[in-house]
Amino acid sequence: MLNVLGVRIHQKKRTIPFPQSEPVLPDRFRGRPQIESSRCSSGCHRCVDTCPTDAISFNSNKITIDLGRCLFCGECSAICPEQAIRYTTDYRLAVRRREELVMSSNELSLATALQEESRRLFGRSLKLREVSAAGCNACEADVNVLNTVVFDLGRFGIQFVASPRHADGILITGCVSRNMLLGLKKTYEAIPDPKIVIAVGACAISGGPFIDHPEIHNGAGAILPVDLYVPGCPPHPMTILDGLLRLLGNIR
């Protein structure tokens, strides 16, 4: 018993004081890209050719990145001779509408809060059901990690529950395989109205690296009405937490 207490003291309190203070992310973390189209003088389009998910395009000489497809692999940045694309350590990436993920300037319309009535219902207690629909266990792991003492999701009133009947919404990871379509739909239908839908990761938003495989449905967007998109492959837990708190109006 004394041993247990000793270890408890030694392991200390490790919950990060978010959102009161900014988290420290590794210097090599690849978050929101910084686009400087003016640097792109040669127009070599190597970034377009190298992007594994064809997330990059040119619109009247301006570089456009679809963060819904982006794997944040950084290969565009590495190949660009002019450094027109750089990845910053800004982890705040979640948005409310799919088209807001298509970035041509460096502004991202970060997620706004739910409407007043939904916030009254969910603002202090949001129960979510997680469905992995052909996720690779990276997004799942980084959602799960929010339950550890580091992030302590429960202090924000957000909890993952074991039945859709207990849930206010659904959090989807994975590209939605054909074999998970029915399971996903049934889970959604079993959640009482009103309900919200959160898509986490490039797969759930667009299909990610599996885009257009005949075995998948290119993400949740075509199947369910998504309220929050959290891009990344996988998104950093801070990105997910930031998105959830913005949706509930805890961060503005």
Partner 1 sequence: MNTNSICVIRNGEIIPLAHIPLISISEFRDTVIEKVASGARISAFWGQPSGKAVRLFAILAQDKYATLALLSTEVESSYPSLTPNCVQAHWFEREIAEQWSVTPTGHPWLKPIRFHPSYRTGRDPSAVTGEQIGLTDFFQVGGAEIHEVAVGPVHAGIIEPGHFRFQCHGENVYHLEISLGYQHRGIERGLMEQPAKRRIHLIECSAGDTTIGHATAYCHAIEALSGCQAPARAVFLRGIALELERLANHTGDLGALAGDVGYLPSMSYCGRIRVDFLNATALLCGSRFGRGLIRPGGISLDVDESRVKELLRHLNKASEDVTEAVELMFDSPSVLARFEGTGEITPQTCRDLGLVGPMARACGERLDVRHDFPNGIFRFSQIPISTWHTGDVFSRALVRWLEMQRSIQFIRDQLNMIPDTGLRTEIGSLPPDTLAVSMVEGWRGEICHIATTDQQGELTHYKIIDPSFHNWFGLAIALRGQQISDFPLCNKSANLSYCGHDL
Q: How far apart are CA 183 and CA 186, in angstroms?
A: 5
3-state helix/strand/coil string of 51-74: CCCCCEEEECCEEEEECCCCCCCC
Please, which residue, 16 or 113, has the CB nearer to partner 1?
A: 16
Nearest to 237 by CA among 143, 127, 131: 143
Is there binding between residue 44 and partner 1 (CB under 8 A)? no
Stretch that binds partner 1, among 57-65, 101-109, 201-209, 242-250 (CB under 8 A): 201-209
Please, which residue, 96 or 199, has the CB nearer to partner 1?
A: 199
Interface pick for partner 1 out of 47, 84, 95, 133 (rule CB under 8 A): 133
Is there binding between residue 162 and partner 1 (CB under 8 A)? yes
Please, which residue, 55 or 63, has the CB nearer to partner 1?
A: 55
Q: How far apart are CA 153 and CA 31, in angstroms?
A: 22
Is there binding between residue 250 and partner 1 (CB under 8 A)? no
Please, which residue, 205 or 233, has the CB nearer to partner 1?
A: 233
CB of 142 to partner 1, least distance (A): 7
DSSP string, 97-165: SGGGGEESSS---PPPPPPHHHHHHHSS-EEEEEEESS--SHHHHHHHGGGSTTT-GGGGTEEE-S-GG
Question: Would you mind telling me the total number of residues written for the chain in this entry?
Answer: 252
Q: Give residues in contact with partner 1 (CB under 8 A).
A: 3-4, 7-8, 10-11, 14, 26-30, 49-53, 71-75, 78, 129-145, 147-150, 160, 162-163, 174-175, 177-180, 183, 187, 203, 208-210, 212-216, 233-234, 236
